[in-house]
Amino acid sequence: MPAPPPGIADGLTNYGDPRFAAYLRRSFALSMGYSRRMLSKPIIGITWTASGFNNCHRGVPELIEAVKRGVLAAGGLPLDFPVTSLGEVFLNPTSMMFRNLMAMDVEEMIRAQPMDAVVLIGGCDKTLPALVMGAASAGKPAILLATGPMMTGRYQGERLGACTDCRRFWGRYRAGELSDEAIDTVEGRLATTAGTCAVMGTASTMAILCETMGLMLPGTAAIPAVHADRLRAAEASGTAAMELAFSGRTLDTVITQASVDNAVRVLLAIGGSTNAVIHLAAIAGRLGLKVDLKALNRVSDATPVLVDLKPTGQGYMEDFFNAGGVGALLRRLEAHLDLGALTITGETLGEQLPPAGEWIDGEIVRPLDKPIRADGGLVALYGNLAPNGAILKRAAADASLFEKTARVVVFEGLRDLAERIDSPDLDVEPEDALVLRNAGPRACGMPEAGYIPIPTKLARRGVKDMLRLSDARMSGTAYGTIVLHISPEAAAGGPLARIETGDRIRISVAERRLDLLVEDAVLQAREAKMQAMAGERGWAKLYRDHVLQAEEGCDLDFLRSAAG
């Protein structure tokens, strides 16, 4: 039996007299009513990420109770502590701007407070990435627990799940197909339980990738938020954290190039969110690892999409759970994965896979020979418009728009887009490409504005999709032929800053190209239209001055491994 970890006397406050510090700390801890017996046990921190502004984390208090049960039963003392709570839809200008703030908060609070291991609870889009980035940098033993996805609602016999159906119905409403009363009814039925968005959006994607990387207990990513198994997973995570307190296993030892590469494979095979490319790059960057977009392109053609969930397919996360979840998927994808990758339990990924045949569903999680599509969900594009890359979720796009040249209609930024997109005077045709610039990380925090709406005048003519390009992100729940994360962004002086309405661009998904068909000399002679974020103080200033581009995960430059 290894020696017990230090407990409440871990990392003592520096008064120049360690015995005095321990005495003082114990005396204040005793004021919380713990017995000396409890204070002598290993301490398991638990992140409190619930708030009144975070619907997705409504179940966190109940999960914390269950984690505590697991810790107590294993002989530890569980202590929860608050960290930043990021409720996706309630944050201005975009939750993306606060992922790094949360990651710093998580890192510093884990390091500063006396805990021997930590259970990281989270789910809503930016939370799992922020927790992993912070805890990996802090270097203390840690395990993730996802909040789990929402259940679906119903409208006229149809299932509804946030938020692919949110967009689908809104599109129909904009096109005049739905009445005010109907859209009101839909609004009340899209998000009906605690938990994260019910489709393969960013939250689901990141939970699945984190399980793939071995950062949470196997079989737990997809359990619905309101399912009793979710509480049992929480209890088991508490117990597992006690084992970590003794073994000292940390996230930075579990996350390796092999586990990152496995995550990229799975991302392609689930038709997952484009945002995951950014979050994975940020996580990898914390540890001196890389998400190589050119490597992603190489494996993309050889990785079939096997999971049939919206927005690329039909099902919801509750179906994925019932079909065996991540274990069933990894078993089917086994030939494409490095099964020797270590997980947080100390077993390899291969050792944790369920026995073949324990799952029988062949529709939601397809066998390799019956994929949803034969090639991977995402590709990276390069060219003179995107020297450092751009991302297209081809699984959620219209393939008839993949090989073409188009005239561009340029919007200067979010305000210009909002002011002109629905104008009857907008000079736009269905075969044009809509371009939005100054929506990248340095311009405005990189909001999910890449899902440029179809101009109303075209929507009313029945146009459902158009080629759209930007330096913004888009929601993982969205659908369309939308090129995102163009890098460098306009605000960093990328070529996007010099494109003009009437220019022609050429896209070729087959060749992985995105080019602006304008002479270099002409481009250089133009004025660069760059708008960086305002703010001379506080977080906005720190963020704007230090944020990296999309291919480096939009982390802050001084938080990457080289700096740390």
- Residue 165 interacts with Mg ion (CB under 5 A): yes or no: no
**CB distance 304 to 371 below 8 Å:** yes
- Residue 318 interacts with ligand FES (CB under 6 A): yes or no: no
- Residue 205 interacts with ligand FES (CB under 6 A): yes or no: no
Q: What mask of x and - would describe binding to Mg ion in positions 85 to 104, judged by CB under 5 A? A: --------------------
- Residue 125 interacts with Mg ion (CB under 5 A): yes or no: yes
- Residue 195 interacts with Mg ion (CB under 5 A): yes or no: no
Among 43, 46, 56, 554, binds ligand FES (CB under 6 A): 56
Among 47, 152, 196, 352, binds ligand FES (CB under 6 A): 196
Q: Return the half-sphere exposure (C-beta side, CA atoms, 13 A cut-off) of residue 402.
A: 18
Q: Is 73 helix (H, G, I), strand (E, B) or coil?
A: helix
Among 197, 215, 307, 391, binds ligand FES (CB under 6 A): 197
List of E strands, 355-471: 378-383, 386-393, 403-411, 433-436, 467-470
Q: Which two tokens stand for residue 413?
A: 């930024």
Whichever of 195 and 304 has its CB closer to ligand FES, that residue is 195
- Residue 124 interacts with ligand FES (CB under 6 A): yes or no: yes
Q: Shortest approach of Mg ion to residue 273 CB, angstroms?
A: 7
Whichever of 202 and 262 has its CB closer to Mg ion, that residue is 202
DSSP string for 136-162: HHHTSBEEEEE--BPPPEEETTEEE-T
Q: What mask of x and - would describe binding to Mg ion in positions 227 to 256, judged by CB under 5 A? A: ------------------------------
**CB distance 467 to 434 below 8 Å:** yes
Q: Is the peptide bond before 447 cis (omega within 30 degrees of 0)?
A: no
d(CA 227, CA 224): 5
Whichever of 56 and 244 has its CB closer to ligand FES, that residue is 56
DSSP 479: -
Q: Shortest approach of ligand FES to residue 307 CB, angstroms?
A: 18
Q: Shortest approach of ligand FES to residue 106 CB, angstroms?
A: 18
Q: What mask of x and - would describe binding to ligand FES in positions 125 to 144, judged by CB under 6 A? A: x-------------------
Region of 33 (left: φ > 0; alpha: ψ -120 to 50; beta: rest) is left
- Residue 333 interacts with ligand FES (CB under 6 A): yes or no: no
- Residue 89 interacts with ligand FES (CB under 6 A): yes or no: yes
DSSP string for 363-388: SSB--TTS-SBSS-SEEEEEETTEEE
Work out whether the CA dihedral 536, 537, 541, 545 comes out positive or negative.
Answer: positive
Whichever of 125 and 432 has its CB closer to ligand FES, that residue is 125
Site for Mg ion in 446-505 (CB under 5 A): 475
Buried b (16+ CB within 10 A) or exposed e, 409-426: bbbbbbeebeebbeeeee
Q: Choose the one of ligand FES, Mg ion, none that binds residue 196, judging by a C-beta under 5 to 8 angstroms depending on kind.
A: ligand FES
**CB distance 302 to 230 below 8 Å:** no
Whichever of 201 and 325 has its CB closer to Mg ion, that residue is 201
Q: Which two tokens stand for residue 261?
A: 């590469």
- Residue 60 interacts with ligand FES (CB under 6 A): yes or no: no
- Residue 220 interacts with ligand FES (CB under 6 A): yes or no: no
Site for ligand FES in 151-180 (CB under 6 A): 162
Whichever of 11 and 61 has its CB closer to ligand FES, that residue is 61
Cα–Cα distance list, 359 to 250, 339, 365, 367, 377 (Å): 31, 19, 9, 11, 24
Nearest to 146 by CA among 245, 90, 261, 67: 67
Interface positions with Mg ion (CB under 5 A): 125, 201-202, 475
Interface positions with ligand FES (CB under 6 A): 56, 88-89, 124-125, 162, 196-197, 201, 203
